[in-house]
Amino acid sequence: MAAQLSYTCRYMKEMRDHHPGRRHGALRSPALLAIALLFAAIAFASCSSITASLSKSSGAAGGGVAGPAPGTAPSSTSSNSSIANAAAAAALAPDIPELARIFSSPSAASLTPSERAKLEQTLARYTSLESPAPQYRSEKPDPRTNRVTASMLAAAAKDPARNLPALTQTLTAGENDPYMRIKLIHDWIAETITYDVSMLSKSTVTGQDLETVLSTRRAVCSGYARLFETMARYAGFDAKTIEGYARGLGSVFAFDQRNSHAWNMVRIGNFWYLVDVTFDAGAFQNGTYQKRYRTDYLFPPPVQLRYTHFPENPAWQLFPSPLDRAGFLSRAVVQSAFFRYGLKIASSGSASGAPDLPAIQKAAGIFALELEAPDGVLVDGSMFDAKGREIEASVLASRLSPTRWKLMFAMPAAAAYTATVFAGRSGSGASAAAATAPASPPAATQSSASTRLESVLQFSIENSKAWPSSPLLPKVYGRYHNLPGELLESPLAGSLMTGETARFVYRSSARHVAIIYDQNFVPLNKTQQDLFVLDFKVPRTSTVKLGVSENGADYQIVLAWVVR
C-alpha cells in the first residue's frame, strides 16, 4: 500500500516584498459597462470563431488577438468603433477572472434573468473549450533540458539579470510550439531545483531570490514561482505569480502561514494556463521529501485546482463561479492523480458527484463509496483515526465490473476518521507473493499482487456507531482485486464465532467457490449465473478462507476470516 502523499509549501511576506504592486486595484471602468461589452462580445463572436482563434493562436506565444490581462477591465470609451473592437477582443480572448468578478459584483444584481442566463452560458462556453495542453503531459522530463550546462547555471546564479535570459534562450532554442517552450522551462526547474525542507522549521523564509535559488538549487514555493515567472517572461510570455493556500493529504488545513503557497499563471496565445512547478518537482512521503518529476500541474484545467489550491484573489481560480473559503473547505481533497487515472465518483453514501464529494460524510458503522475507473486501474483505500494511526482491515475494495469499484469503510468506534482512496495501474508494482496449501489436491493458492498505488482522494467520516467485529473486515487477497466481478455480499465482518451459522453470499465469474479450513473444502451452492450461497456452521479452527476455481480442484484464495 502506498503511503499518503502530502504537499507542503511555505509562502510568506518575503514574496510580497519582492513583488510590489502585484495586487490589482478596482475596476477602471464601471462594471455595468464591462457587462455591456460582454453582451456585445456575444453578438460579435460565436463558438466556432472562438475555437478558430484558439487554433490560430496555438502556434506562437502571444499570437492571435490579444485580450485584456487578468484583473483589468475594458477601458471606458465613447467611440462606437472602440467599443466594437473591445467587444470583439473580449469574445476572442475572454478575461475569465474579470468576467467572473463582474458576475459576482453588486452591479450584476440589476441583470434580468435572461441576461444572467446568457452571461452564465457565455462563461460556461469559454471554460469548456478543450485545451491542447494534455498532449504535453509526460512521465519523463524533456531531454533537451540537458542543454543547460553547469557553467551556464553558475553564470546565471552569479548574475541572473545578465545571464538567465541566455540560459532560457538556450533551453528553448529551436522550439516554436509555445506549450512546449513552457514545458521546457517547467521541466528544467522541476529537475534542477529541490524543495528546501530546512525552511519548514523556520519562522521566516529567506533565500528565495534568484541568485540564491540558482546557486543552492533549493527553494520553497515562492522561489519556484519566481524562477518560473522570470524565465517565462524571458521566453516572451506574459506570466504571473499567484498567492494563496494549498492543501494536500494527511494534514490539518487552515488558511494560515503553514499552508501558504505560490504558483503561476502563464498566457499562451489567447488563454491563461495554470502551472505549479513546486508540486511537480516532488512530494512528501512518510514525512520525507521525495524528488520526483510529474506534469500533473502543468496546464491543469482550472476546475482541477479548485480542490487543492485557493488563491487569495478569487479571480485567479479562472472559473465562472469562484469558491469562497467555506466552499473550498467543504469539498473533499482531490489530488491531481484522481484525474490522471480517469476516476469518477459514482455514488457515495448520501452524496454523489464527479468529483464534488463533501469533505465530511456521516456513517453508522460502515460507509460505502463507489467509483468509476478505466479498465486496468486498481482502487483501494485506508482509514486513519484522529491521531493519524491507520486502522487495520478497515477497508474492503470490491471490483464490481472492469470499470466500477465499491469501497466499504468500517469503523471500530463512534468517532471521527479520515478516509483515503488510492489508485494505480495494474502491474505497476515489483513483485507478488504466493503460497500453496495443502500439498495434496484440491489445492489452494493465495497471492497478494504488488501494485504501486497513489493517494487520490481524502475525506472525513463522522461515525455514530461502532462496527461490531475485530478485525473489522475480512482479509483480502490479490485475486479479489485483480479480476472484475468478485463481490462479497456476506459475511462482511472480519471475524466469525465458533458454532454460529454464517451465511456466505459471494458473486464470482469463476465456476466453483468453496470455503476452505484446515484440510477441508466446502463448496458453495451456485444459485444463479454468478451467485454462490451457503449457510455454513463455523467449525472450531483458527481461520476460514474463501477460494475460487475453474476446475474444482485448484483454488485461488480471495478472502479470509478469523475464527473466535
Nearest to 228 by CA among 280, 176, 151, 173: 280
Alpha-carbon span 545 to 548, nearest angstrom: 10
Quote the radius of gyration of the chain (alpha carbons, Å): 28
Alpha-carbon span 225 to 547, nearest angstrom: 54
Are 509 and 483 in contact, with CB atoms under 8 Å apart?
A: yes
Nearest to 530 by CA among 482, 476, 489: 489
Q: In terms of DSSP bridges, do strands 271-275 and 5-6 run parallel, antiparallel, or are they unpaired? A: unpaired
- Report which of residues 6 and 262 the model is more confident about: 262
For 86-114, letters b (16+ CB in 10 Å) and e give bbbbbbbbbbbbbbbbbbeeebbeebeee
Beta-carbon contacts of 97 under 8 Å, excluding residues fewer than 6 positions away, are 70, 71, 313, 315, 316, 317, 318
Beta-carbon contacts of 83 under 8 Å, excluding residues fewer than 6 positions away, are 37, 40, 77
Q: Residue 217: count other Cβ atoms within 10 Å of its Cβ.
A: 13
Average pLDDT over residues 16-39: 38
Alpha-carbon span 454 to 422, nearest angstrom: 5
Domains annotated on the chain, with CATH: 1-329 (no CATH), 338-563 (2.60.40.10)
Average pLDDT over residues 398-427: 91
SS3 state of residue 200: helix
In this predicted structure, the answer to whether residue 530 has a pLDDT above a threshold of 60 is: yes
Alpha-carbon span 327 to 53, nearest angstrom: 34
Average pLDDT over residues 475-485: 84
Q: Residue 131: what pLDDT?
A: 62
Nearest to 126 by CA among 153, 149, 95: 95
Express each pLDDT in 274-325 by its tens digit. Answer: 999 999 998 877 678 889 899 999 998 888 888 889 998 887 887 767 888 8
3-state secondary structure 342-362: CCEEEEECCECCCCCCECEEE
Are 383 and 418 in contact, with CB atoms under 8 Å apart?
A: yes
Nearest to 300 by CA among 320, 280, 328: 280
SS3 state of residue 77: coil
Report pTM: 0.70
Average pLDDT over residues 197-216: 80
Mean pLDDT computed over every residue of the chain: 76
Q: Residue 70: what pLDDT?
A: 37
User: Cα angle at 554 between 526 and 502, to 5 degrees?
Assistant: 45
SS3 state of residue 60: coil
Q: Residue 552: what pLDDT?
A: 87
Dihedral through CA 163, CA 206, CA 240, CA 23, nearest 10?
Answer: -130
Q: What are phi and psi of 169, to 5 degrees?
A: -65, -40
Percent of the chain with pLDDT over 90: 43
